[in-house]
Structures are given as structure tokens and as C-alpha cells.
Structure 1
Amino acid sequence: MFEAGFEDIDAVYIDKPDIGALALAGMQQLSTIDSDVTARRTGNKVELLLKNQIAYSRTVDSDFDPEAWGDLTADVLDEATAESEKIKTAPIEKVHEAMFSGVVSKLDQFSRYSSAENAREARAARDGFGGIGVRISVEDDQVRVVSVQHYTPAERMGLKTDDIITAINGESTKGLGQREVVERLRGAVDSKVDITVKRATRDPFDVTITRAHVVPESINYRREGDVGYFRIYSFNAETAASLKRAVADAEQEIGPRMRGLVIDLRDNPGGLLNQSVAVSNLFLREGRVVSTHGRHPDSHQYFEASGDDIAKGKPIVVMVDGNSASAAEIVAAALQDNRRAVVVGSNTYGKGTVQTVLPLPNQGEITLTWARFHAPSGYTLHHLGVLPSVCTSVYRSAEEVMRDLGRGQLPQVPTGRRNAVKPDDTKGLDSLRKACPAREQDNPVDLEVALRLVSTPDMFASAVRLAEPPQLGLNHDDENTALAQ
């Protein structure tokens, strides 16, 4: 466990880590399980202390590599287990979680350790699982179907919102908790599950459902007059495909009168990098989408658009707020920098780093920051975020926004200053952010402005020009120089 974790951190973390300091931080977390146990480093020795007395000591060589530090950490844990009844009787996963939490706490806020159970849930959210396609809630000792996902076995077999699942495979659901119900409904793809359903409009009935690969829904579509509104909640393995289907549904429902699209990325924390690229690619025929750069050679990647623009050139407005992060920021920046969309709302979160997820021997995961990503025009989004084309933070109504836009009184996005500021110039980045303070709650003004822009081509064109980038597509040397500054 420790050798694998330390070797991964040493190989891919964005900055060269001090593995010895990380290992010691992990050992010191043993005190969270037994306050009488701790560890320290004195000169070239690492010592395990029990009630402030040295219980174990080992000399550290100057050439210790991640494998050696992993071996030492495991030895310290073995000695602590032998000396402490609390550590000896604690579940091993609790010990691993405590120690790895100490290790990653020395990295950055986005690197983390996930236990086997949490990692399994995270993988299910990202990549999907064998299931039937329902969201459930256990309320008053009843299992209620909260929603039925489209294109899933549950929908095909006729399950509906507010159905009550009274039994699974012949066993009553009474007394079961949420996690227990979820585990019983999930299973291998193509396996079957029998459920008994109670519905207000008919007698209880049984249904046999064949499980399929289900990826949680991340897209919601609704019609707003002659405009298609699409909310993206996160970026998982099916987001781009789901959005493409939703746009096709909108075109079928609205028909030739469809004026354009509103893509709502507010409160979207991000997700998979490749899906942010794929979503951007749905609307871009050419141009840079994003580039990533870190310490590991494989972290230098360039993503170019080559799509067909499924919106066929229709106006697009992207809505963002202070909770729009990571993959959501990639999409907003790509469409803005390539002059394909108007970004409306407030400054985004500014989470401009890429994480890689690496498995550990216990089936847990360690998530490590390994690169920073750069917008098409070259600036790094970390700490800065996306500056919206039309800032609504300081407005009380859509009428005021459109009035100032029509009069040419909306401020130009300071793209030249944005692209010139150095990534480590915190004061400069904060100054840019103050121009449109991040807002963390949905503002109805955003949608009103978005709908008006989509429906008014000349106003949309004026708003696009507000965020005219100083240059697009920095060459590779320029980008690497910018990262090194």
C-alpha cells in the first residue's frame, strides 16, 4: 500500500514531492486512532513514540527512495499495531484512511485518498455500474423511486416516479437502509433482479428487470420557448453522448423555429477531462479546446477540435457561477475563446488543475494533481477561472443588462491583462476576479439574459465581441514558457 502510493506520488504529482515529509505526516496520523502514539524525525532517525517514550527507531539513509519510505512506513505501522491495542483493533481501512489522509494533506486541496468503498462509489458515478436506472430514497421505512433514468431497463419495464419498491428478489425492503437497497438493486450487467412494486393506481405487481450498464444522468433538457435549455450537472462517461441526444430531442421538439442553445454550467463541479473536450467538440469545428502541462512527460497534452457543430452555427450562451469548476471551466473557456458562445454570469471557481486517479492494492484510490490546464488563448485558469463575457453580478434585472449592452456600455473583458498575468501572481489574479465577483447562488437574471441574447442575433454578436481574445493557439514553446513563469 505505502510503496505503491509513494511511488505514484513521486512519479506524477505536479511538483516534485518530499516523500520523507509525506511519509512522516502519514505516520503522525496514527495519533488520531490512539493519542498515545505518534512519530517524529530527529536528524537521520524516524522514531515511533508511545506515551512520549521511543518504542521503535530506524535510521533513514539520504538516498531513501519511495520504495524505502514505503517499507519504513509499513514497519512503523507494524510496531504501532504491536504496541497499541486501539490501533491493533481498529479496522485496517480506518488506519489506511487516517495515514493516507496525512500524506495527501501535504500536497494540495484537490489531491485525496479514497477508501475502497468510496472509490467504488466514485467509479460508479464516473464510469457507471450494473443497475436498473432508478434513483431511490428510503423514507418512513419505504423505498420510493425518486426518478427513472431515460434509456435504462427501469424505463423500458415501465417503472415510474413515486413507485414504492416493497421487495427485492422476494425479500422485503422494510428495515433496509439506502446503501443496502442500492447494493441489492445493482449487480452484474445482464443479470436479473425481481422487484415487487406498489403503485397508487393499481395493485402491487412483480417485475423482472435485466440489469444493464448504467451511467448516472448528468444532463437535463427543457424547452424555453424557441430555445433549448440544457443543464449539465457534472461530466461523467456519458455526458457528451447524453448532450448530443438532448440537442437532437430539442431540435425534434422545437423544429426549424429553434433559435439557439443555453448551456447551464452553474453549480457544476467538473468531472472527466475527456468529456469536457468531447462536449466542447460538439460545437467546434476547429481550434484549440484546451492544453495541459505538468511535471510528468505524459501530462503535456493538446486537444484540438474536429467536430461538426451539432448546433449548426446557432447562437450558444453558456451560464456560469462561482461553483462552476474544472471541466465546466474548460467548456466555458473553449467556447468563449473560439468565439462560439457568450459566457453569462459571474466569475467561475478557478480550479485549473487536472487530477489523475490511480488504484491502490486495497481497491482504494489516490487522486493526484498532475497538470494545469490552459485555455485556447493560452492563459491558465487556476485561481483565475473564466471571466464571463456578460457579467450579471452587479445587475438586478435582465432589462438593465440588455440596455447597457445595446448602448455599448458593458465593459470589455480584459483579455490582454488576463493573458499577461503570471500564474503565480495571486494579487494580479485576485484583481481580475474582482471585476465580476463570483456568485454561488443561481441568479434568475442569467437565464433571462441568455434567452434574450440567443433570440437577438445582433445583440449576441455584440456580446461575443466583448470577450475577443488577444490571440488564439499559442505554440507549444509559448505555452511551456508561460507555465514555467
Structure 2
Amino acid sequence: MKLRNGLLLSCVFLSGLVIGTTTSPIRHAWGQEAGNDSTYQQLSLFGDIFERIKANYVVDPPSDKLIYNAVNGMLSGLDPHSSYMNAKQYADMQVETTGQFGGLGLEVTEAGGLLKVISPIDDTPAFKAGIKPGDIIVDIDGHSTEGLALNDAVDKMRGAVGTKITLTLKRAGVNTPVVATITREIISIQAVKSRLITSAAGDIGYIRLASFSEKADEDIRKAVATLQKQSGGHIHAYILDMRGNPGGLLDQAVAVSDDFLNSGEIVSTHGRHTQDDQVWYAQPGDITNGAPIVVMTNEGTASAAEIVTAALQQNRRAVVLGTRSFGKGSVQTVVPIPGNGALRLTTALYYTPSGKSIQDYGVTPDVKVSDTSKPQDQFADLRESDLQNSFKNPTGVPAPTLPSPIPLPAVAKTIPDKPPASWPAFDATKPETDFQLQMAIKLAAAMNAPGPSTASN
């Protein structure tokens, strides 16, 4: 089934300045049309407030700014992911989905008035500067982010290539502010990276999927073909690393899931209108020929990445290792407004093959492995459920942990849930310091080919 286009962060009291009432032209027009209709009476109130601000605010505010803030306030009050994009922001979004844009390379969201990093994008300036999932951005170039709208924060972090920006961060387990000065670059996202890993059981194909841009499926297929050629067609198992993958395009999530499945439901969506109710199924053609798969997740694994994780886990196709994912189970539709940007509106929730929603709760790994042995503070585990106005899980109760869809090898019981205190500090250039990856290699080497694809219930 073909996806519809666009599916996808001292008070002053004035007294005596206004005596009596004035009839706002906006309010008057709406009032004439509306009669006693309560919706239009509220629109009349908006027009009245707009005119009073224009007449009496300490400086004359630009009308377009007032309208922009009002529209975004209306949308952000619905959920964390609905928003209005002006023409420039809409153009930026369209560029981002192609995999190349200017900036720092950060996926951020707003949570409880805080600007929080979901994940840095691999090999970008933010990634190289050591910014981590869960970091709270408290200052941008010395200006507090408190009360700053998400779109405005993103605009501040963008800028001319070669210019510098200084971020002040609050990091879990660190008592002093972390300051990072970063040079903006053209961000060319390499959504997929791959390499062969040698193990006693045979070659393991490691695939890093960083985002679901418009070529994710194509790049996954190329990576698997390259790995198979390099190994002479003898790959024992695959590791699909989606840690810190913030998601992206729904059609790419469906296509990537289908790459590793021969049959079974991938995902379904259900919304207010019947046209938003859809189901996608896998077609024959597992590109790995049934080799075992370990999927790696963490708290930065979100949205489209969670669709793939749940589809492979619940169709008895992969074992999931890491920490619980972010828990974003909603679908946004982008509605262009000719000449005035676009509306990003939540139109549906998606459901995994088991019929469960991951909204709020995320996907629970079969083998839980943290990347740190340090105690975490209250911000370290911030997820979708912590975002202001986030949807509640439609079932109203925590999604039950499904039994492991694939029998775990005996070695799984020997894998610790966190690195020992003596484990070396993580260095992105040294895979041997990546504790979660080393445990995934250990697990993948011990796995055998799974049985037929059948979703758990």
C-alpha cells in the first residue's frame, strides 16, 4: 500500500489606559458571521485581544509575530509534536528529509519547559562535541532557553556554515555545567553505515541506522549486499544498531521492516477519520536470508525506529538488546499552506503487530543492558511520557512486556545489565569501549537462525 505524502519539539498591571470598549474590526467581522455560536465567540475574543495588544503594548509588536505565536500556542497545547512551520522552517524540514542541511546535527524536544537532546546525529558537529542523549540545553550563546519555543530554539542553533555557537548543558551525573562550543557545518546525514565484525561463530554484519531519511531503505539494502559480498555470503548474524535514531519517514520504517521479514504485519495506524486507518504487511523477500538479528535500542530510539524494532521483535525475527525506547507512538501529517509554510498535525496513533501501542511506554528490550554504571538523575530517563501534553497510551495501562519472541541463547543470562565500574570511558572511535555493542556481539555470535515469522499476541 502506498503511503500518503507528508507522514511523519515582577508582573505589571496596567490601569486606566483603556476606558470603555472598542469594537475590533476582526471581532466585529467574526461576530456578525457567528451569531451565538460559541466557537466563533471565542474567535471574537481572540480578535479583541489581538487588537488590544496592538493598541496598548509597550512597543508595537509585529502582527505576523503575534499570529505565529498564537497559532503555535494553539498547536503545542494539543501535543508535543504538532506545530506550525513558517515558510523558512517548512523549507528547512523538506531539506532535512533528503539528508543534508546546515546546523549542528541535534534532535531536540521540549519537556517540562526544558530543551532536551533526544540524540545527536552521527558524525555531526554535535556528535563530535560529545553531546549526549538526555542533555538539557540551558543556554544558547549565553541566553537562557527558559520559555523559548522549540522552533525558535532550533532557529537559534542554525546559522551560517563556519560560525560558532556555545551551548551550556546540564548532564546527568555531572554536577557542573558542561559547555560546548561548536562550529556549524553542512549536515550530510549518512543514514546507514556498516562493517564486518569477526567472531568465533563467524562474520557478524554490523549496520548502524541513524535516521529514516528518504533513502534509508535503499541504503540498508546496499549495506547488506556489501556485507554479504565481503563475507563471501557467510554471515552468521546481523546487528541493527538504532540507538539514538530519532525516527523520520513512516514509509521508510515500513520498507526497512519489510527488508528483514517474509510475512506478518508490520504496523497499523488508527486515527479520527477512516482514511487514517491503515495496515501494512511484509512481503516475501528477507534480504538477510533468515540470519539471526540483534536490534540495539536506547532512550533515544524513537518513532520510526520503534516501529522497526517492534515489528522485528514481535514477528519473531530479532532479539532486542539495550534500554527501553523513547515511546513516541503518534503519526504526524504535514499539510502545506500555499505561501505560508505548513501545518504539522498529529492525525493518528500507530500500533505494533501485537495490537499494542508503544505510546508513553516504548519497546522493552529482551536483554536489558545500560551504557553506564553511574547513577542517573531525574532527567536521564526523560521520555515521551514526560513531554508536556503528550498523549496517554490508549489502553490506559502499561503495555505488558511480551515474552521473548525468539528463544534466547544460554549466553544471554551471563550478560550483565550494566558495565563494570572498571570499564573504559566510551570513545566513539574505539568500538571496544562501547559496552552495549560488545554485549550485542556476544549475543549475536551465540544465536541460531529463528523460526517462521509470526507476531506474538
* Equivalent of 2:330 in 348, 353, 360: 353
Distance, in Å, in 1 between the alignment partners of 2:299 and 2:335 is: 29
* Equivalent of 1:232 in 178, 184, 209: 209
Contact 1:87-1:95 within 8 A present in 2 as well: no
Amino acid at match of 2:398: L
* Equivalent of 1:83 in 55, 60, 78: 55
Match for residue 454 of structure 1? 444
Match for residue 319 of structure 1? 296
Larger RCO (CA within 8 A; separation ≥ 6): 2
Contact 1:36-1:52 within 8 A present in 2 as well: no
Distance, in Å, in 1 between the alignment partners of 2:284 and 2:23 is: 61
Shift of 1:231: 1.4
Match for residue 63 of structure 1? 37
- Do structure 1's residue 263 and structure 2's residue 266 form an aligned pair? no
Match for residue 96 of structure 1? 67
Distance, in Å, in 2 between the alignment partners of 1:222 and 1:349 is: 27
The structure with the greater share of residues assigned to helix is: 1
Shift of 1:376: 0.7
Secondary structure (helix, strand or coil) at the match of 1:279 reads helix
Distance, in Å, in 2 between the alignment partners of 1:96 and 1:252 is: 56
Match for residue 114 of structure 1? 85
Distance, in Å, in 2 between the alignment partners of 1:327 and 1:50 is: 53
Secondary structure (helix, strand or coil) at the match of 2:243 reads coil
Match for residue 191 of structure 1? none
- Do structure 1's residue 332 and structure 2's residue 303 form an aligned pair? no
Contact 2:294-2:321 within 8 A present in 1 as well: yes
* Equivalent of 1:276 in 237, 253, 258: 253
Aligned-pair identity (%): 32
Counterparts of residues 314-463 of structure 1 (less than 5 Å): 314-393=291-370, 423-424=393-394, 426=396, 428-429=397-398, 444-458=434-448
Secondary structure (helix, strand or coil) at the match of 1:259 reads strand
Residues 155-193 of structure 1: per-residue CA shift (max 9 Å, x gap): xxxxxxxxxxxxxxxxxxxxxx974459xxxxxxxxxxx
Secondary structure (helix, strand or coil) at the match of 1:382 reads coil
Secondary structure (helix, strand or coil) at the match of 1:429 reads coil
Q: Decide whether aligned partners of structure 1 residues 119 and 35 sit closer, same or farther in structure 2, where only a CA change above 3 A counts.
A: farther
Contact 2:370-2:436 within 8 A present in 1 as well: no
Comparing 215-224 with 271-280, greater Cα deviation is found at 215-224
Distance, in Å, in 2 between the alignment partners of 1:252 and 1:35 is: 71
Shift of 1:128: 5.5
Contact 1:81-1:87 within 8 A present in 2 as well: no
Contact 1:289-1:375 within 8 A present in 2 as well: yes
Q: Tell me the TM-score normalised to structure 2 length.
A: 0.59
Match for residue 223 of structure 1? 196
Shift of 1:278: 0.6
Distance, in Å, in 1 between the alignment partners of 2:49 and 2:250 is: 37
Amino acid at match of 1:122: M
Contact 2:299-2:325 within 8 A present in 1 as well: yes
Shift of 1:285: 1.5
Match for residue 295 of structure 1? 272
Amino acid at match of 1:221: S
Amino acid at match of 1:102: G
Contact 1:358-1:367 within 8 A present in 2 as well: yes
Residues 324-346 of structure 1: per-residue CA shift (max 9 Å, x gap): 11111100000111111111111
Distance, in Å, in 2 between the alignment partners of 1:451 and 1:336 is: 18
Secondary structure (helix, strand or coil) at the match of 1:280 reads helix
Distance, in Å, in 2 between the alignment partners of 1:357 and 1:35 is: 39
Match for residue 310 of structure 1? 287
Secondary structure (helix, strand or coil) at the match of 1:221 reads strand
Q: Decide whether aligned partners of structure 1 residues 432 and 337 sit closer, same or farther in structure 2, where only a CA change above 3 A counts.
A: closer
- Do structure 1's residue 126 and structure 2's residue 100 form an aligned pair? no
Contact 1:119-1:363 within 8 A present in 2 as well: no
Counterparts of residues 160-175 of structure 1 (less than 5 Å): none
Contact 1:283-1:309 within 8 A present in 2 as well: yes
Amino acid at match of 1:265: M
Shift of 1:312: 1.1
Larger radius of gyration: 1
Distance, in Å, in 1 between the alignment partners of 2:188 and 2:369 is: 34
Distance, in Å, in 2 between the alignment partners of 1:50 and 1:361 is: 40
Amino acid at match of 2:447: P
Distance, in Å, in 2 between the alignment partners of 1:364 and 1:52 is: 39
Q: Runs of 5+ in structure 2 lacking a partner?
A: 1-10, 106-122, 125-156, 163-186, 374-391, 403-416, 419-424, 427-432
Amino acid at match of 2:312: L
Q: Runs of 5+ in structure 1 lacking a partner?
A: 1-33, 38-48, 138-145, 148-176, 183-213, 397-421, 472-485
Contact 1:80-1:87 within 8 A present in 2 as well: no
Amino acid at match of 2:55: E
Secondary structure (helix, strand or coil) at the match of 1:278 reads helix
Shift of 1:71: 7.2
Amino acid at match of 2:37: D
Contact 2:241-2:295 within 8 A present in 1 as well: yes
Distance, in Å, in 1 between the alignment partners of 2:289 and 2:330 is: 31
Contact 1:218-1:235 within 8 A present in 2 as well: yes
Residues 465-484 of structure 1: per-residue CA shift (max 9 Å, x gap): 9x99643xxxxxxxxxxxxx
Shift of 1:99: 1.2
Shift of 1:393: 4.2
Distance, in Å, in 1 between the alignment partners of 2:104 and 2:256 is: 29
Contact 2:357-2:399 within 8 A present in 1 as well: no
Amino acid at match of 1:113: Y
